[in-house]
Amino acid sequence: MTAVLTRHHDVLAALHAPEQFSNKVSSHLNVPNGMDGAEHKAFRALIEPFFSDVVLTQFQPKLQVVIDELLDNLDAHDDVEIMATLGHPFALRAQCAFMGWPVALEQRLTEWMAAQNAATLKQDRPALRALADEFSHIVVEQFERARRGLTDPESVTSQLTQLRLSGEPLPDDYLVSIVRNWTVGELGTIAAAVGSIVGFLAQNPVVQKQLRAAPMHIDHAIDEILRLDAPLLTNRRRTTCPVGFGDQSFEANTTVAIDWRAANTDPEVFVEPRQFKWDRDPHLNLLYGAGVHVCPGKPLAQLELGLFTRSLLNKFETIRLGEQPFERAQPPRGGYRKIWVKFNH
Ligand code: HEM
């Protein structure tokens, strides 16, 4: 059985002790999340510029187009199921736009994601292996297009093919792994975050009103909403030596799960942990992790979720829960599986 860290204090201690809590948990290549030490540092340095202010400022108008198209095409006469109509399509289209991928790829990736979700829930290992190969194939095709000059040279995909480590281009399996880390993990996280944000707004008309009046607080509110309703539930570590925390001790080589939801609602750190509060200390929020593996995609995630929420609040004067009861997602997914919302009625 995997050991679990649930207390905020213990999670923080583990995140800041990467020599004792290694990220090399599986034998699969996972760039950079499955790496430690100097190797991890080198790959972090390669990917961080992809989330710089300059890149995100250029991406913002393209992201706004994605959001406007989704919201303009929304049939809001009836109750809207948020995950199917906004959460998943938004996560996928925003990611395709960020990567500079052709629109035609969206349908292929939508089908791939549905199959991946089904296989993950069933823990169907042969299906997951076949899906991993299919993903590599899809992404390598995009790298080949970029290398043949068929993609905008400024696009993230083209720029990835230009990366060099010690003067050498990165092999395709490393490039695929980088994109897998950004896509496979993060599409589900962004989709879950969208569902949680809309679900929270639909159930909290006062916060909705406050944010319409003061949209500059949207990013702050989103971080607090997602502290309450974690879109990403766990990450793992492996102990490199015997480690003790209070009444918990782990042998060397123990796989330890970090429970983000538990840590972020730890009553020892958060007063009334399940209440939304405006005046929390943002430094205590572990939504994007901490330490050397802290989320490098945080600025992109904040841009996507912030712009989406601002546009949604601008477009609809009221957001309320729909008639059908919502269904929560089951681990390893966070947020909602289905949630119906009424817009403007
Ligand atoms: C609401 C959205 C997101 C949340 C809540 C989130 C959360 C996290 C957390 C908690 C970690 C730390 C994992 C650990 O300690 O093992 C992490 C790592 C990471 N995230 Fe995010 N993330 C989000 C969006 C994104 C996006 C959009 C991208 C890129 C497109 C991204 C790329 C990464 C990568 C590459 C890592 C691994 C970093 C490393 O190991 O050094 N994330 N994320």
For the chain, how long is the longest CA-to-CA vector? Answer: 59
What is the model's pLDDT at position 113? Answer: 85
Ligand 1 binding pocket includes 301 (Cβ within 6 Å): yes
Ligand 1 centre from 185 Cα, in Å?
8
User: Domain 3-343, CATH 3.50.50.60 — does that match?
Assistant: no
Q: Please choose from 24, 295, 304, 307 the residue to mutate so as to test ligand 1's pocket, defined by most ligand atoms within 8 A of CB.
A: 295
Which atom of ligand 1 is nearest the CA belonging to 230? 5
Give the contacts of 144 (CB within 8 A, at least 6 positions apart). Answer: none
CB of 256 closer than 8 Å to CB of 238: yes
Output the pLDDT for position 332: 86
Q: How far is the CA of 106 from the centre of ligand 1 (A)?
A: 22
Task: Give the number of residues written for the chain.
Answer: 345
Contact 21, 258 (CB under 8 A): no
Rounded distance from Cα 37 to ligand 1 centre (Å): 18
Q: Where are the domains of the chain?
A: 3-343
- For ligand 1, say whether the CB of 290 is within 6 Å of any of its atoms: no
Distance between CA atoms of residues 34 and 218, nearest Å: 33
The per-residue pLDDT string of the chain (345 residues; one tens digit each, 9 = 90 and over) reads: 679 999 999 999 999 999 999 999 999 999 999 999 999 999 999 999 999 999 999 999 999 999 999 999 998 889 999 999 999 999 999 999 999 998 889 899 999 988 988 898 888 999 999 999 999 999 999 999 999 999 999 999 999 999 999 999 999 999 999 999 998 778 899 999 999 999 999 999 999 999 999 999 999 999 999 999 999 999 999 999 999 987 889 999 999 999 999 999 999 999 999 999 999 999 999 999 999 999 999 999 999 999 999 999 999 999 999 999 999 999 988 999 999 999 997
Closest by CA position to 265, among listed 240, 297, 295, 230: 230
Q: Whose CA is nearest to atom 20 of ligand 1?
A: 295
**How far is it, in rounded angstroms, from Cα 23 to Cα 41?**
13
Q: Give distance in angstroms: CA of 213 to centre of ligand 1.
A: 31
| pLDDT number for residue 125 | 93
Please name the residue whose Cα sits nearest to atom 4 of ligand 1.
288
State the CB neighbour count (10 A cutoff) for residue 330. 9
**CB 13 within 8 Å of CB 232:** no
Amino acid, res. 142: Q
From CA 127, how far away is CA 112, in angstroms rounded? 11
Residues 343 and 79: their CA atoms lie apart, in Å, by 8
